[in-house]
């Protein structure tokens, strides 16, 4: 009798060199699923700490002058350096004040009064759960 993997062909992706960090997490999951289906490698759980984040700020677009100060193709969870300006509005700037601040859901084209950006910060590692 043939093994399941002899009937199917699966592709693995090089997650370390061709994709940004956020995409690599998805590809890593895909590779684990491919390995499980093809009986290729051990997929038993490991004790890996999960990094947790909490919302620090929700940046709201207040005027039509609102602008994000980073490239439009910047991906979620991109980390920024202290003192970097992330958003400006008529009389407002959001400047990174803490190490490890990252962005989620950037969109300067939202309606006035809507959230245009979420700033998150890593939580203390002692609070992290173990997978």
pLDDT tens sequence across 20-42: 555 555 556 666 666 666 665 56
53-122: CATH architecture: Beta Barrel (2.40)
Mean pLDDT of 90-110: 95
Task: Please say if the pLDDT value at position 1 is more than 50.
Answer: no
Mean pLDDT of 91-119: 96
**What residue spans define the domains of the chain?**
4-38, 53-122
- Give the strand pairing for 53-60 and 115-122: antiparallel
Q: What is the pLDDT of residue 26?
A: 56
Confidence of residue 100 (pLDDT cuts 50, 70, 90): very high
- Give the strand pairing for 115-122 and 102-104: antiparallel
Task: Please say if the pLDDT value at position 89 is more than 70.
Answer: yes
Q: What is the pLDDT of residue 124?
A: 78
CA gyration radius, the chain: 20
- Average pLDDT over the chain, rounded to an integer: 78
Strand partners, 95: 85
Q: What is the pTM of this model?
A: 0.61
Task: Please say if the pLDDT value at position 108 is more than 90.
Answer: yes
């Amino acid at each position: 009798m043939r093994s399941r993997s002899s009937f199917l062909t699966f592709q693995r992706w090089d997650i370390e060199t061709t994709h940004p960090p956020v995409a690599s997490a998805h590809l890593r999951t895909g590779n684990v699923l491919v390995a499980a289906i093809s009986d290729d490698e051990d997929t038993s759980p490991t004790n890996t700490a999960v990094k947790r984040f909490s919302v620090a700020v929700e940046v709201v677009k207040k005027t039509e002058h609102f602008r994000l100060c980073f490239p439009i193709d910047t991906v979620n969870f991109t980390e920024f350096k202290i003192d970097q300006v992330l958003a400006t509005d008529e009389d407002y700037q959001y400047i990174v004040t803490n190490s490890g601040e990252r962005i989620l859901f950037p969109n300067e084209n939202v309606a006035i009064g809507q959230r245009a950006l979420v700033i998150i910060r890593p939580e203390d590692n002692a609070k992290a759960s173990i997978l």
